[in-house]
């Protein structure tokens, strides 16, 4: 029983902890999803604003191209273009002003100004009228470069930078900011986002948002806005609620565009298409776990990368208080179970004889007294057997008290097996036993007594030792409720004396006892 209760307590604790674990895992997953949604929104807003700026500037450029072609307007700075033969380029040196204010962009072209065609000069004039600095002066966003790159071999770049630090060359037309927007790669004429690449202007790794510019269906150039990795990292960090060191901005092909550690940039985070994994749900790949956002602007995913230990740490942190309460409750419950077992065990010790495992004399008297009262109330018969082991002293003296104790246990076992569940069996004292038989008259009791006596006489114990028993029987004779348990035991005891005197190993009823034995009660 104790082991069973222990199993129940342990099962309750384990089940509770398991439920808490999976509940905590779900809550942690929801928390990570909330964080991803915030970052997804931040990156999405950044890209949306960049796309909006690009679209606006591209629209300005197309409008300027139309204006230049119709009224022959030339921007004032066109007249200040000059050659820089030492770098095989032409353009502006960055010291120019408009309305006594510094011009915040500079222009460089490939080759000599003398070789530039008139239509290119018109395009340069249209580009110089652009306000490229607008996205760069925003209070809420920090873009690295804003620029227009022409198919005709010049670039207008803001903010202004020294020609020694940057000037356009054929090499730069191989960079992603240009190639992704050309008609060959972008026939839909959409604003597109590049993969991570190294900035030609020395600003490190970045991505470019590029919008193609057309004039009368003719591809003219590309308006681009660059976002550096440091700013992408800032957007991720500022909007992340936890685990910032595990946050990645990843292209839909799985390449890392930005992460808060600035490690492994450009490398593949997961060597497979991320689209195969469900968004906003933890998935395992190799030996790590990931959770990804929806695809942002059809280009990027926000991804957390965690180990199993880190996930379990978050779950434990989330469920610690609840797990502690459950554990304390289980401990209290276990202590109560232990106390209950102790009380039950002590109660059993108080009720049972330690040797025979039968009721002790006190319990025997209590239970029997209740049955006697009930028999009078219901006017039913009740019989009592007084059983004594024959020659028990001789057994102890000859073979030792150890064998005598085994004999008592043996007799007690047979008695218990020979009676009904409703019968009361107890050790009266020494080698004497009492059996109380509710709703049983003397004739029926005699049958049970003989069954017990014969079973004991025919059985052996401890190296084929045998014992016999003598049995005295009585029943409630009077019609009042004045007869007590002690009265019946005294009557049965008188019958027992006669059984002993008549040779032992027999059953004798009290109503057959003559006056000689009755005098023993006086």
Is the confidence at residue 347, as pLDDT, over 80? no
- Using one digit for the tens of pLDDT, what is the confidence trace for 29-70? 888 888 888 888 888 888 888 888 889 999 999 999 888 755
Q: Which ranges constitute the DSSP H helices of 137-228?
A: 176-179
User: Contact at 8 Å (CB) between 457 and 466?
Assistant: yes
CA dihedral 335, 339, 341, 345 (to 10 degrees): 150
- Look at 152-161, 343-352, 366-375, 408-417 and tell me which has the smallest mean pLDDT: 343-352
User: Contact at 8 Å (CB) between 104 and 130?
Assistant: no
Which pLDDT does position 515 carry in this prediction? 45
- Look at 53-67, 103-117, 201-215, 239-253 and tell me which has the smallest mean pLDDT: 239-253
Which pLDDT does position 265 carry in this prediction? 65
> How wide is the angle at C-alpha 261 spanned by C-alphas 257 and 262, nearest 5°?
45
Query: Residue 113: which pLDDT band, with cuts at 50, 70 and 90?
Result: very high
Burial of 41 (0-12, 13-18, 19+ CB in 10 A): middle
Which pLDDT does position 505 carry in this prediction? 96
> Phi/psi of residue 329, each to 5°?
-60, -45
CA 339 to chain centre: 33
- Using one digit for the tens of pLDDT, what is the confidence trace for 206-232? 788 999 999 989 999 999 998 877 777
User: Contact at 8 Å (CB) between 77 and 160?
Assistant: no
| Number of residues that make up the chain | 522
> Phi/psi of residue 232, each to 5°?
-55, -40
Which pLDDT does position 241 carry in this prediction? 46
CA distance 360 to 429: 8
Which pLDDT does position 1 carry in this prediction? 59
Of 229, 67, 66, 84, which Cα lies nearest the Cα of 142?
A: 229
Burial of 316 (0-12, 13-18, 19+ CB in 10 A): middle
Which pLDDT does position 252 carry in this prediction? 78
Task: Find the helix packing angle between 442-457 and 401-418, rounded to 10°.
Answer: 140
Is the confidence at residue 294, as pLDDT, over 60? yes
Which pLDDT does position 427 carry in this prediction? 95
Stretch 13-20: mean pLDDT: 88
Is the confidence at residue 267, as pLDDT, over 80? no
User: Contact at 8 Å (CB) between 414 and 346?
Assistant: no
CA distance 152 to 6: 85
Token pair listed for 5:
């209760």
User: Contact at 8 Å (CB) between 500 and 430?
Assistant: no
Using CA of residue 61, residue 66, residue 67, residue 69, what is the dihedral sign? positive
> Is the backbone of residue 272 left (phi > 0), alpha (psi -120 to 50) or beta?
beta
Is the confidence at residue 413, as pLDDT, over 60? yes
Is pLDDT larger for residue 50 or for residue 427?
427
Q: Which ranges constitute the DSSP H helices of 419-461?
A: 442-457
Which pLDDT does position 58 carry in this prediction? 92
H/E stretch holding 337 reads helix 308-351
DSSP-assigned states of every residue in 236-270: HHHH--S-GGGEEEEETTSBEEEETT--STTSBSS
Which pLDDT does position 314 carry in this prediction? 83
What's the Cα-to-Cα distance from 191 to each of 256, 276, 379, 496, rounded to whole Å? 21, 26, 105, 114
Of 29-38, 339-348, 490-499, the range with the highest mean pLDDT is 490-499
Share of the chain above pLDDT 70, in %: 88
Stretch 364-386: mean pLDDT: 92
Token pair listed for 181:
């927007």
Which pLDDT does position 139 carry in this prediction? 47
Please give the DSSP secondary-structure letter assigned to residue 277.
S
Stretch 499-511: mean pLDDT: 92
- Using one digit for the tens of pLDDT, what is the confidence trace for 149-169? 999 999 999 888 888 888 888
């Amino acid at each position: 029983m104790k082991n069973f209760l222990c199993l129940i307590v342990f099962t309750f604790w384990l089940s509770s902890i398991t439920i808490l674990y999976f509940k905590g895992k779900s809550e942690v997953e929801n928390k990570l999803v909330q964080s991803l949604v915030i970052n997804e929104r931040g990156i999405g807003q950044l890209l949306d604003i960049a796309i909006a700026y690009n679209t606006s500037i591209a629209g300005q450029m197309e409008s300027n191209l139309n204006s230049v072609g119709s009224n022959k307007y030339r921007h004032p700075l066109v007249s200040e273009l000059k050659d820089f033969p030492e770098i095989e380029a032409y353009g502006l040196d960055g010291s120019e002003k408009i309305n006594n204010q510094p011009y915040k962009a500079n222009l460089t072209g490939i080759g000599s100004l003398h070789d530039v065609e008139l239509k290119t000069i018109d395009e340069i004039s249209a580009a110089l009228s652009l306000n490229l600095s607008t996205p760069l002066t925003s209070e809420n966003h920090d873009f690295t470069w804003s620029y227009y790159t022409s198919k005709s071999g010049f670039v207008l770049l803001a903010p202004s930078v020294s020609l020694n630090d940057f000037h356009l060359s054929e090499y730069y037309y191989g960079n992603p900011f240009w190639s992704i927007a050309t008609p060959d790669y972008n026939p839909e004429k959409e604003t597109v986002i590049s993969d991570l690449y190294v900035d030609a202007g020395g600003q490190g790794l970045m991505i470019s948002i590029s919008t193609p510019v057309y004039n009368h269906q003719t591809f003219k150039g590309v308006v681009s806005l660059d976002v550096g990795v440091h700013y992408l990292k800032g957007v991720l960090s500022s909007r992340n609620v936890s685990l910032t060191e595990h946050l990645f901005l990843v292209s839909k092909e799985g390449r890392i565009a930005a992460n808060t550690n600035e490690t492994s940039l450009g490398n593949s985070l997961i060597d497979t298409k991320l689209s195969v994994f469900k968004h906003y749900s933890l998935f395992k790949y190799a030996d790590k776990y990931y959770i990804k956002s929806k695809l942002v602007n059809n280009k990027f995913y926000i991804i957390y990368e965690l180990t199993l230990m880190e996930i379990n740490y978050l779950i434990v942190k989330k469920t610690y208080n609840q797990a502690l309460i459950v554990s304390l409750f289980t401990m209290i419950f276990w202590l109560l179970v232990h106390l209950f077992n102790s009380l039950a065990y002590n109660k059993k010790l108080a009720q049972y004889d330690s040797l025979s495992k039968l009721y002790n004399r006190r319990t025997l008297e209590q239970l029997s007294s209740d049955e006697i009262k009930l028999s009078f109330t219901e006017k039913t018969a009740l019989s009592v057997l007084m059983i004594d082991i024959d020659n028990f002293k001789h057994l102890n003296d000859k073979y030792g008290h150890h064998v005598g104790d085994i004999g008592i246990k043996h007799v007690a076992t047979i008695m218990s097996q020979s009676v009904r569940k409703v019968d009361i069996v107890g050790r009266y004292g020494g080698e004497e036993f009492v059996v109380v038989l509710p709703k049983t008259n003397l004739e029926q009791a005699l049958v049970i007594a003989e069954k017990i006596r014969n079973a004991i006489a025919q059985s052996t114990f401890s190296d084929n030792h045998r014992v016999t028993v003598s049995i005295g029987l009585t029943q409630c004779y009077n019609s009042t409720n004045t007869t007590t348990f002690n009265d019946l035991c005294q009557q049965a005891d008188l019958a027992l004396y006669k059984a002993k005197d008549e040779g032992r190993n027999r059953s004798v009823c009290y109503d057959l006892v003559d006056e000689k034995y009755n005098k023993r009660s006086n």
